Amino acid sequence: MAGADRNRTGTWMKELQAEPAARLEDWLAGNTTAPNSSINTRTCPHDDDEFKYNAYILTYFLVFPVAFLCNILALVVFFRQKKRRRKPAYVIMVNLALSDGSFSLTLPLRLAYYMNKGHWSFPDWVCRLCVYTFYVNLYSSILFLTFLSLLRWFSIVYPLHHKKVKSFKLALLTCLGIWLFVAVSSLPFLGSGVNKRGGIPRCFEPATPQSWSRILSMNYVALIFGFVLPFFTIILCCTKIIHCLTHPHYSQDPKTRMKLRKKNQRSVHLLIMVIATFLLCFLPYHVIRTLHLYAVNGGWNCGVTNLLQRAVAITLCMAASNSVVNPLLYYYSTKNFKEDIEHTRLHISKRLSFRSGSLRSTGRAGSLKVKTQQGLSIKAEDMEQSPLKTQHPATDQQIQMTEKPLGLEETCD
């Protein structure tokens, strides 16, 4: 009996230890049921996998081709801008396109997983890399957009000091610092690997953090440094720029003043689009994710908790769509990008037309050569059989005329 009691106690302890590990990352993936712990939580029965999977399939099916093609096109256009390669805005946008493009490459794996009804068929490290890439893309995009907004603000409000700060080296080092900061701070997400639920290998669903308090701390760090501070920085930049444009102190001639005003208006358009990106893609996800985490930890009503679970899935799709929104920002905020897209399109079309034209001309030349050889052989036979050949020898000029390319329908006089 004592041995049986010890076995039952050991089994109970294993289940108690495994239960939190099987459920603890759903605040990130929209699949949370609160574990029984010392925190005031409540376990809510639900089955939202079908809703969540359908939402992700639809979103990633639409986002992947658009994000991949648009960011590849953006990189092609950027790399063709030889005169602007050392400009800070160019450096920031290239890094932003690289971030979005690398994230779009992981979307087919996510699609395969959700279309397979939540069955992960790839190695564990691929799962960890996909989870890690999502958060690196999310927060690097936020910080790159913030850096771009700060650069535009400084160029308008402090134009005399702008040239000192506007250096290629400073922009490159800042972008490298952003990559390093986001890559290191996102390392905990590498712990979200493959786990089994119901005997099926799962990915993007539960990770294994140590406790709910640790998850809450991670959420605070991501919320404050990854969203709140960047968002209010962009709002402040936009406010300062609008104030500067509405209270100008220009001393230049009218033409220079007009050019400067148009440039500043493009900067305002850029900041407005950045704010719209934050409001549509980043704000809903961070707000709903935080509310959902509080609901799980605070033992809120199950109806509210389950509703927030679905909302997390929807806002996660909105956050993933930022890789589609950013190329629109390049296109509509900068005049040079529009012109370079048109030049790239013309260059590609010329190359394609040149290749097809060269193939056609090669085919025509080959057929003409065959016809010419046939025509010359026929003419030579006629001349040999002609009774006038010995009486009227052909001159050099006539021979040259005979040797020119002729069609079969032409005759030699």
For the segment 136-176, what is each residue's pLDDT rounded down to a tens digit?
Answer: 999 999 999 999 888 888 877 776 665 655 678 888 999 99
* 211 burial level (CB within 10 Å; 0-12, 13-18, 19+): middle
**Which domains are seen in the chain, by residue range?**
43-340 (1.20.1070.10)
CA 70, CA 133: separation in Å to the nearest integer? 19
**pTM of the entire predicted model:** 0.70
The span from the CA of 26 to the CA of 334, in Å, is 40
Q: How large is the average pLDDT for residues 22-38?
A: 44
Average pLDDT over every residue of 213-226: 80
Mean pLDDT is lowest, of 27-41, 82-96, 99-113, 195-209, for: 27-41
Give the mean model confidence (pLDDT) for residues 262-272: 73
| pLDDT for 34 | 42
User: Higher pLDDT residue, 405 or 42?
Assistant: 42
CA distances from 288 to 5, 272, 314, 316 (A): 45, 23, 10, 9
Looking at per-residue confidence, does 228 or 255 come out higher? 228
More confident: 57 or 87: 57
